[in-house]
Amino acid sequence: MPYARKKMHSGDTHLRRRWRLRSRKRDLDLIDKDLQTGSDQLLNQDVDLEKPGFAQFYCIHCATYYINDRALQDHFRTKVHKRRLKALEVEPYTVEDSLRAAGQGSFVQPQKRKMETQPSKQEYAEGKRVKVDVVIEEEKPAKQNLSKAPKYDGKFKQLLDGLKAPAT
């Protein structure tokens, strides 16, 4: 009679938590705050021997460190970076948005923004900075005929009077 296969890693919840936290990235609203306030500080960080590349090659949009400039430039061409730029184009969800959703205020459409990849170290030294431009879109008109029922034109009273009038 063959033995049942041993199931390994049945009690690995402590490992799963470590893996989940290790792969967690910085949230979009925090990255947006970094783009608005401290992008210069993040691009020119002090040397930190604990971080990859001594904290000299940092992608602001993805909140990750790279070992050299070549790795950073290669990262700018990846799908991961392009998806993060696309996600940052829409204004992040805020506490005010949640209050509006709960009924305290009226809905405001989040603004679209145009994101550009951060400049390289050499371009930054020449004076190029991180830009976030707001794209102004025209408001879309609301749909007029939401239901298939005919629209009320104010002649209902005349119709009722016509029905009440005796037939001659």
Check if the beta carbon of residue 62 is closer than 8 Å to that of residue 119: no
Strand spans (E) along 60-103: 64-65
- pLDDT at residue 109, rounded to an integer: 82
- pLDDT at residue 78, rounded to an integer: 96
3-state SS assignment for residue 124: helix
Check if the beta carbon of residue 98 is closer than 8 Å to that of residue 75: no
In a domain, 6, yes or no: no
Range in 94-103, 111-120, 144-153 with the lowest mean pLDDT? 144-153
In a domain, 8, yes or no: no
User: Domain span at residue 67?
Assistant: 14-138
In a domain, 50, yes or no: yes
In a domain, 144, yes or no: no
Q: What's the structural domain count of the chain? A: 1
pLDDT greater than 90 at residue 20: no
Check if the beta carbon of residue 113 is closer than 8 Å to that of residue 86: no
pTM above 0.85, yes or no: no
In a domain, 95, yes or no: yes
In a domain, 39, yes or no: yes
Strand spans (E) along 9-165: 58-59, 64-65, 112-115, 132-135
